[in-house]
Structure 1
């Protein structure tokens, strides 16, 4: 047999092997989805217990466990601006058993604050579903001398850069800078490990003010342990009817909220992601889910993979513009 014939025969043999293997390779993801889930699921949260993200994760973990027929274990991997939690998800097997309870910081605003982010929230993570949006409140200690937003702004203008605000994540830092920019003042950011720590710092008077999602502060506000000066939303909240919006008090453009979404490692089989996404969309449609979040003045989102990816890209663009306008030095 001449060399050319040998090469042609070898090529034909290789092609035949590839053709034979193709159905098996295509069947693998389908088989994975058919048996998924067959063991406990781990739900990784980038913030400490007690944060709004953690509270939501525990609610969804319970409901997901009911639908999946498997235990869903919530793991708090707080710190490092969410990097630790994201690493735990992206370094785990991409099989749908390790989920990220992503937040606006881990999925969007970190991109606007770091020169060299150790992960790409779009390329390294596959979207599963959006979950909820929570309005932001500007809070001060209960014994603060600032009774109104005007009092706070006047004090900040009198001593530029000396009024401090607590931020529980990179996202809250950007919200603080957005407020300072719209109010025409300079504030000093004091970062904390998570939202509960930041709220406690404001409550105890370690900082002059703070920014928090409503879920982390509602009980403190109702108990008179902390005071809200403004809502960063288009309209007042039903649960806090006496707290005016920033817009009502002359600070236009200060609108911000926290939001959450579920993601998995980027190379997770698509049929598994589809199955997970369907379960989360079902949970979002449950009356008890809407009631749970309505009690916290939180808005549930439609849900789904496409909604999360589109919303995520939109948020990244928005906060990049805000960071550039505020001239925030990238970390």
Structure 2
């Protein structure tokens, strides 16, 4: 008999045995996952926040964690990892055991922006992590100095054309800088960027008229808007804000295919069992409907989006694609 034919038969027989063994083990693996999900959670859950304590994502995480603890009977331990623009904390979440006891909080910069502009962010956010639930959505708003006497974005664009080289833009975040670049690409509006260390210094200069404009999250902007210190001219996302119902959306202002907004979401390591991801999503949505969480969100002008797991992933896919397109158009991709 042909030796090569015998070898081929032996290889085929061996492969069939391996497949049969794997199929036989599949119910065991599935039953282990189901058992794990039934027992979950049996202890505290760690939420990695890839930024320092006190920031927006940290605040939202703590609101969520407090509400969750009331439901599940175990603490949510917040671990702040403030390094490398959020890359270190995100990688820590990716590398965690996929058992549901470590989640990582993601924001636009860590999930949608860093992988496009930062070589250190050598991860694929929607492959290396599973989107679990949106914990908060925060619109962004463009504000201008009162001394400009401008009320809408079209008025600002017209002013910029008539006063070339006069408009300045106060920036202190990656999101804010891409907001400026994107607006310039879409409208032709030219503003000289002026970097600041933080929003306090930047907004001080906008209030004083030393800087013309800024784009920032509505939570940070509202105190200045409500005091009449600056003028809001456009919401940079697709939706109206209940906190500023009279301010136009970017679409209403005539600018299409542009969005700048802010959100915080829970992500789990990629191999976390589906049952646990679904559990965390359901409990998160329940927790954030509690009266205490709703009151804190209203106070901070944070919106709650009641998304299931598939809707959360769909939202993230749009965010990742939208930011990638904007960054590439701005010529800032790594």
**What TM-score, normalized to structure 1?**
0.78
Q: Secondary structure at the match of 1:293?
A: helix
Kindly state the Cα deviation for residue 37 of structure 1 after the two structures are TM-superposed.
1.7
1:271 matched to 2:275: yes
Q: Which residue pairs with 1:305 in the alignment?
A: 309
Change (3 A) 1:268 1:246: closer
- Distance in 1 between residues matched to 2:18 and 2:140, nearest whole Å: 60
After superposition, residues 75-86 of structure 1 pair within 5 angstroms as 75-86=79-90
- Distance in 1 between residues matched to 2:298 and 2:91, nearest whole Å: 32
- Distance in 1 between residues matched to 2:50 and 2:195, nearest whole Å: 15
1:126 matched to 2:130: yes
- Distance in 1 between residues matched to 2:107 and 2:259, nearest whole Å: 17
Listed as ranges, the gaps of 5+ residues in structure 2 are: 1-5
Kindly state the Cα deviation for residue 313 of structure 1 after the two structures are TM-superposed.
1.1
Q: Matched residue pairs, number?
A: 320
- Distance in 1 between residues matched to 2:15 and 2:221, nearest whole Å: 67
Q: Which residue pairs with 1:330 in the alignment?
A: 333
- Distance in 2 between residues matched to 1:73 and 1:297, nearest whole Å: 25
Q: Which residue pairs with 2:215 in the alignment?
A: 211
Which of the numbers 34, 38, 46 marks the counterpart of 1:42? 46
Which of the numbers 76, 83, 99 marks the counterpart of 1:95? 99
Q: Which residue pairs with 1:199 in the alignment?
A: 199
Q: Which moved more, 1:17-26 or 1:278-287?
A: 17-26
- Distance in 1 between residues matched to 2:239 and 2:134, nearest whole Å: 23
Q: Which residue pairs with 1:321 in the alignment?
A: 325
Q: Secondary structure at the match of 1:60?
A: helix
- Distance in 1 between residues matched to 2:323 and 2:22, nearest whole Å: 46
Q: Secondary structure at the match of 1:123?
A: helix
Give the alignment's Cα RMSD to 1 decimal: 3.7
Q: Which residue pairs with 2:235 in the alignment?
A: 231
Change (3 A) 1:9 1:222: closer
- Distance in 1 between residues matched to 2:126 and 2:11, nearest whole Å: 43
Which of the numbers 175, 178, 181 marks the counterpart of 2:179? 175
After superposition, residues 62-77 of structure 1 pair within 5 angstroms as 62-77=66-81
Which of the numbers 245, 255, 261 marks the counterpart of 1:252? 255
Q: Secondary structure at the match of 1:329?
A: coil
After superposition, residues 103-114 of structure 1 pair within 5 angstroms as 103-114=107-118
Kindly state the Cα deviation for residue 128 of structure 1 after the two structures are TM-superposed.
0.7
- Distance in 2 between residues matched to 1:288 and 1:185, nearest whole Å: 42
Q: Which moved more, 1:304-313 or 1:254-263?
A: 254-263
1:165 matched to 2:170: yes
Listed as ranges, the gaps of 5+ residues in structure 1 are: none
Q: Are the counterparts in 1 of residues 139 and 217 from structure 2 also a CA contact under 8 Å?
A: yes
1:154 matched to 2:163: no
Deviations 1:178-224 (A, max 9, x none): 222334133455667xxxx6322312439654321112232343345
